[in-house]
Amino acid sequence: MSSNVQLLTVSDASEGQRLDNFLLARLKGVPKSLVYRIIRKGEVRVNKGRAKPERKLEVGDVVRVPPVRVADSKTPPKIGDGLKEHLADAILYDCPSFMVVNKPSGLAVHGGSGVSLGLIESLRQMYPEQAFLELVHRLDRDTSGCILVAKKRSMLRYLQDLFRGVKQIDKRYLALVKGQWSKRAKVVDVPLLKNERQCGERMVRVSPEGKASRTEFDLIEAFESASLVEARPITGRTHQIRVHALYKGHPLAGDEKYGDEAFNSALKALGCRRLFLHAACLAFDLSTGEHIRVEAPLPDELNGVLKQLSTSRGAN
């Protein structure tokens, strides 16, 4: 139980944030229903007046928070020295308002669903002086490469608006797929429907009932049994590249959810022990007109797979 009334002053980092989200971020362990109840009953005050949950806060606003009961919660695990060193080396671009990180495969972007420590929790531990650090978008746990992290709420809103726009952020992925990708197969434009199983696993399939989804593809290199392609997702649906490639008959290498078991086994023998999907490039314009382009080199283990494929092709 927090026994004292708190008076919280809104800083630049929280400018424009809704009152309910402001409180939820600061009252860790407090049930969401309780947060809304104390707002509704007028126990939360903004500048000494009642306020609704959707109230947008401004710099200098003073938020009165009444005593609330905080549920017991375990202390989040501390980031290990190995991961800390890896992530420090993985910062591809860093400025006062955002950073771009080369996320390693196997690291979730945030904790939850059995994951206690993700990328964003790790970065917050590494940079405790940063009052605000939030993911702009997401990558699947097994996907590596460029991910944007905002350091200011105003930049978070700006970048998320770019992601919602068509082609305002140029995202380019490298993927290794089964079979010979046709140079004529430039666009996959079919709707995707997301389903969640009882176990919580998310599955996506092509369905006329789904959301409009579009991915542009280019063949980069052809091997005997596989193709390296560049994928540019124009929309941002869950598992979009993986399911669109599967729709064309070319499942991704190392994809345990949508992939081909025999193909995965053959690639594993060549060193492919993960999903071969890498967010290789992000490019966009800032409101100042400055053009930002950040590239993440293909990880060594994926480069090794391509070299093995090239060697086996040359031997035939």
Q: What torsion do the CA atoms of 183, 143, 233, 173 make, to the nearest 10 degrees?
A: -50
Specify whether the CB–CB gap between 278 and 296 falls below 8 A: yes
Reply yes or no on whether 140 is catalytic.
yes
Catalytically annotated residue among 20, 140, 255, 260: 140
Nearest to 110 by CA among 132, 135, 128: 135
Q: Helix (H, G, I), strand (E, B), or coil: what is residue 310?
A: helix
Q: In residues, how long is the chain? A: 316
CA 42 remoteness from chain centre: 36
Question: Which pair of tokens denotes residue 95?
Answer: 């400025």
Q: Residue 312 and residue 160: Cα distance in Å, rounded?
A: 43
Distances (CA, A) of 51 to 7, 31, 62: 15, 19, 12
CB burial of 224-259 (b: ≥16 within 10 Å; e: otherwise) equals eebbbbebbbbeebebbbbbbbbbbebbbbbbebbb
Q: Is 209 helix (H, G, I), strand (E, B) or coil?
A: coil
The residues that are catalytic are 140
